[in-house]
Structure 1
Amino acid sequence: MKTKTLVLLGATGFVGRYLVPRLAADGHRLTLLSRNREQHRALEVLPNVRVRSASVHERGVLTEHFRDADAVINLVGILNETRHQRFGDVHVALTRTVIEACGDGGVPRLHQMSSLKAGQGLSNYLKSRGEAEAIVKASALDWTLYQPSVIYGLGDGLISRFHALLRMAPVMPLARPDALMAPVFAGDVAEAIARCVADDTLSSRRTFELYGPETYTLEQIVRMIRDAASLRRAVVGLPDTLGRLQARVLGLLPGKPFTLDNFKSLRTASVGKRDGLKELGIKPHHFATLLPILVADAGRQRQLDRMRRQPR
């Protein structure tokens, strides 16, 4: 396998936590672009990994970092909009800027994170992912698109979020309880990207749907998390009228635990038709098998966080 020079955007986030060590293990030279290098300097203990502070929305800045790279990996994405981060800016405009900077810097290859059912449904999240995909496909670059279902792992927005919510109250009112998804382990997503990076002929101008081996409703997943955590909590599915109201209210809270756009996303089943993990020769992990481990790790992480916040 040829060792490659790679520039990664968004690699200090959740998926990057799994991907960066995996790519480093293959011997690739990695440059991670982040808004604040100092917060992520610990990643430089990995071999051939360097972290650089950069404004990823500036074409000229990206161009300078992209020079001499074999490929760019764009993992940047948001699930909720804020005053300073809009789907159109983060997903669409940034993708266009990345492609332009690849052209300016002579980078021939782009690996782009997207979402299962991108461009489908009513949510602005999925619409913006679809717009970004269209821009990638229309470019002159050699590209690979990754379309994961809901990704789970340590520090995720699925197990960790619902575990924390379940601990807060005796009853969990749940919007869109029948929403379908096939959750995929973050380590499997990282493995898929690593294999595509290693073999351009395997993944050139291809889209891979990445999803787990089982399909669950959202209510089934929340009940499984509750049981794995040994919590006695009632999980009550809400009709859409109340679920929509819940989304409007929670969307006004700090951190936006659930928004109207999240509600709209759940109306589109996050279930694939073409098994990208199988196409790449990856045996996927089972959600029910990893769940007890991840719930226990989430509890330990909360204890560590509390200890760090205590005055010394």
Structure 2
Amino acid sequence: MRVLVTGAYGFIGSHIVAALVAANHEVVCAVRGARLDSRFPGLRAVACDMSRDVTPEVWLPRLNGIDAVVNCAGILREQRGDRFDTVHIQAPVALYQACLRAGVQRVVQISALGHADDGEFIASKHRGDEQLASMPLDATILRPSLVYSAHGSYGGTSLLRAMAALPGAIVVPRAAVAPCVQPIAAEDVALAVVASLARATQGVDILELVGPKAMGLAEYLQDWRRWLGLRAARLWLVPTALVRVACRVGERLGQGPLGETMQRMLEHGNLGQAGALERMHERLGLSPRTLQRALAESPSHVQDRWHARLYLALPLLRVTLALLWLASGVIGWALSSDTVTASAQGGSLSPEATLMLARATATLDLLLGALCLLRWRPRLVLSGMLLMLLGYTIGIGALWPMHWLDPLGGLLKNVPLMAAIAILLLTEEKR
């Protein structure tokens, strides 16, 4: 079967693509820019943009020779041109209308488990499900609980791993101590998609994908901590009010998985209805593994501990570098002209040129520091910071060589700073 998969390079989508390939299906990846992902050599990719492709006519050429469609596309929060209504409703509906016109009858949609009042992420997903359910297609709508994998993480699952790896304590919202999730492995979600395409169905079926054990967040994190090979840590229960404030701040910053949707899902619970496991087994022949078993089948490595620990450390490094650049810019402008020219005595530049250079570099420091703090084009900004630091070191070292002998190591400290920026550049890729 030739299957078109939207969101094919995402966390869940990539597992689904791998499972479809293993089941001998021919996969066509529908992704932004039709970029080829080296993780899937030999697969075909076609361009699509769920934030813009809202008419069936755009989708029809992509369905030539396609037998089934799996929609994994989704966004956790709105940013830039991505809107819930467009990505979760308008674009998928246009795709399904194109399926009707092209004679593609089999559709699988990856939705989300939860309640509409958990936030617009869940509400818009469910509105998209309703639109699909109203169409004359043979469709399976899958609503997974918390999805994890021992073979990698992204977004919320990366944040939870980082919480499990915190030194000395496991921080847990007080409201999430009671059973609130039924975690299911991404590999089992992928098997559910393969089974959905293999079975003969008529009409629309909605299935909740849940693991066999309901867990509180504390137990979930303890299991991951043991898997990472870390020492047992005490539990630190955080008041719900404080968690809400932190999630509200995360929502306003617009970066990362920490936000109000995650907070509400944990408070309200992300559990399947009674009989969800039995229906999954009956209709898909799937018996998902417990978290403990899935982790036992895939032992961790040192790289897993690195990632868990660096997930929160790297943003801290970025912020401190941004603040350093901002402070350097402020100081560069705050110093009097006499102080600047006096500090440059013994160099080859005139006092006027020295002052002009100091003010120009201070302005550039302020600009790069602010852009780094805002995470605007991080690769470009970090590269600019690295080049500027290299220019500082070479230029000052050549024009005022006495600074190499500064007892406070003014120039020598640039070397570890350049290494820190290089680390941020090398770890900038998020998926």
In the alignment, which of 275, 295, 299 is matched to residue 304 of structure 2? 299
Structure 1 equivalent of residue 204 of structure 2: 205
Match of 2:262 in 1: 262
- Cα 1:234–1:250 change in 2 (3 A) is farther
CA positional deviation for 1:166: 4.4
Give the corresponding residue for 1:17: 14
CA contact (8 A) 2:176 2:267 kept: no
Number of the residue aligned with 1:283:
287
Root-mean-square deviation (Å)? 2.8
Q: In the alignment, what sits opposite 2:144? A: 148
TM-score by length of 1: 0.85
Q: Which residue identity lines up with residue 62 of structure 1 in the other structure?
A: W
**Preserved CA contact (<8 Å) 2:79 2:254:** no
5+ residue gaps in structure 2?
312-422
CA distance in 1, matches of 2:83, 2:102: 27
- Kindly provide the CA deviation profile for residues 279-311 of structure 1, in whole angstroms up to 9, marking residues without a partner as x: 2222322201233636537527749x969929x
Q: Which amino acid aligns with 1:150?
A: L
Corresponding position of 1:133: 129
The corresponding residue for 1:36 is 33
Shift in alpha-carbon separation, 1:298–1:161, aligned structure 2, 3 A: farther
Moved more, 147-156 or 49-58: 49-58
Could you tell me whether the CA contact under 8 Å between 1:95 and 1:135 is conserved in 2? no
Which range is displaced more, 133-142 or 55-64? 55-64
Higher strand share: 1
2:47 corresponds to which of 34, 45, 53: 53
Assess, with a 3 A threshold, how the Cα gap between structure 1 residues 289 and 232 changes in structure 2: closer, same or farther. same
Q: RCO higher in 1 or 2 (8 Å CA, sep ≥ 6)?
A: 1
Task: State the match for 1:243 in structure 2.
Answer: 243
> Could you say what secondary structure the match of 2:107 adopts?
strand
The DSSP-based 3-state class of the residue aligned with 1:146 is strand
What does 1:55-134 correspond to in 2, within 5 Å?
55-56=49-50, 57-58=52-53, 59=55, 60-117=57-114, 119-134=115-130
Read off the aligned partner of 2:194 and give its amino acid letter: A
Which residue is 1:309 aligned to? Answer: 426
Identify which range, 292-301 or 17-26, moves more after superposition: 292-301
Give the secondary structure class of the aligned counterpart of 2:207.
strand
Shift of 1:126: 1.6
Contact conserved, 1:10 with 1:74, CA < 8 A, in 2? yes
State the identity %.
24
Per-residue CA deviations over 1:156-199 (Å, capped at 9, x if unaligned) read 34553222244456555433323611100111111111011122
AA partner of residue 187 (structure 1): E
Mapped partners of 2:185, 2:253: distance in 1: 29
Q: Quickly say closer, same or farther: Cα 1:300–1:307, change in 2 above 3 A.
A: farther
Name the SS of the counterpart of 1:6 in structure 2. strand
Of 281-290 and 52-61, more deviation after overlay is shown by 52-61
Q: Greater CA radius of gyration, 1 or 2?
A: 2
* Distance in 2 of aligned mates of 1:189 and 1:68: 26
AA matched with 2:49: S
Select between 120-129 and 142-151 the one with higher mean Cα deviation: 120-129
Deviates more, 1:129-138 or 1:89-98: 89-98
Aligned-residue offset at 1:10:
0.7
Q: Does 1:190 align with 2:193?
A: no
Number of the residue aligned with 2:223: 224
- 1:225 maps to a residue whose letter is W
One-letter code aligned to 1:151: V
Q: Which residue of 2 aligns with 1:27?
A: 24
Counterpart residue type for residue 94 of structure 1: A
- Structure 2 CA distance for partners of 1:39 and 1:26, relative to 1, 3 Å: closer
Q: CA contact under 8 A between 2:170 and 2:221: conserved in structure 1?
A: no
Task: Return the TM-score normalized by structure 2.
Answer: 0.63
How many Å separate the matches in 2 of 1:259 and 1:307? 24
Q: Indicate conservation of the 8 Å contact 1:120/1:268, yes or no.
A: no
Partner of 2:214: 215
- For 1:180, the equivalent position in structure 2 comes to 180
In 2, the alpha carbon distance for the partners of 1:302 and 1:36 equals: 28
CA distance, structure 1, for counterparts of residue 148 and residue 299 of structure 2: 9
How far residue 34 of structure 1 moved from its aligned partner, in angstroms, is: 0.8
Q: Which is helix-richer, 1 or 2? A: 2
Q: Distance in 2 between matches of 1:206 and 1:72?
A: 15
| AA in 1 matched with 2:258 | F
Q: How far off is 1:141 after superposition?
A: 1.7
Closer/same/farther in 2, CA of residues 233 and 254 from structure 1, 3 Å limit: farther
What secondary structure, in the 3-state scheme, does the structure 2 residue paired with 1:182 have?
A: coil
**SS of corresponding position for 1:282:** coil
| One-letter amino acid matched to 1:296 | H
- Change in Cα spacing, 1:81 to 1:265, as seen in structure 2 (3 Å) is farther
The runs of 5 or more residues in structure 1 that have no matched partner are none
Displacement of 1:67 in angstroms is 2.6
For residues 64 and 162 of structure 1, the distance between their equivalents in structure 2, rounded to whole angstroms, comes to: 40
Of the three residues 148, 161, 164, the one matched with 2:162 is 164
8 Å contact 1:170–1:234 — kept in the other structure?
yes
Displacement of 1:95: 2.1
